[in-house]
Amino acid sequence: MINYNISLKYGLYGTALGILVFILLLLSGNSPWSSASWMGAWIPGITAYFALKTYASENQESVVLYSTTLKRSMLIILFQALFYNLAATIFVYLFNADAIGLYKAEMMQNAEQLKTMVGEEMYTQLIIELEKITFTTLAFWDFIYKLIGGFLVSLVLAGVFRKNKPIFENE
């Protein structure tokens, strides 16, 4: 049975760390969704690792299935991604942070560099799409990317924390 308290607690720890990185990126003049976003990429893996370590130390089971550990890890990642995006949205709207402006400025700069490679028509289409982007779109894709990355990390962590049934049991 999955203990939701540990998953929720570590999901909130990851959210707090993620929001700290989010605020630091904004204060440094970088967008949390552009090239500097790698700075927070380690947070889901670390929080899931420590949560699974806590599960393992509290439950000294002789057999822990890969699927059970994968579910636990994904639940932690889901809580973290959900609460992070909720907290980031509240922060941006309360403090009127220009996160979208920073993102658009960096993407426009990158688009200028691509202009010679992609041609004028593609460049114009890219600029139109960048102008239409909203915070909701960025938050949605950030949530999806966190889940995808978290799933990959969870696959590895589930293998690390899996315990097989002993071949020779002591009598």
DSSP string of 75-128?
HHHHHHHHHHHHHHHHHHHHHT--HHHHHHHHHHHHHHHHHHHH-HHHHHHHHH
Enter the tokens of residue 124: 């114009």
- 45-93 tens-digit pLDDT: 899 999 999 888 887 776 778 888 899 999 999 999 999 999 988 888 8
Name the one residue in this structure whose structure tokens are 């998953």.
7
Question: Is a pLDDT exceeding 80 seen at residue 17?
Answer: yes
Query: Could you tell me if 123 and 114 are in contact, meaning their C-beta atoms sit under 8 angstroms apart?
Result: yes
Q: What is the pTM of this model?
A: 0.81
- 127-165 tens-digit pLDDT: 888 888 888 888 898 899 999 999 999 999 999 888 777
pLDDT band at residue 33, thresholds of 50, 70 and 90?
confident
Distances (CA, A) of 85 to 5, 37, 40, 57: 20, 14, 13, 30
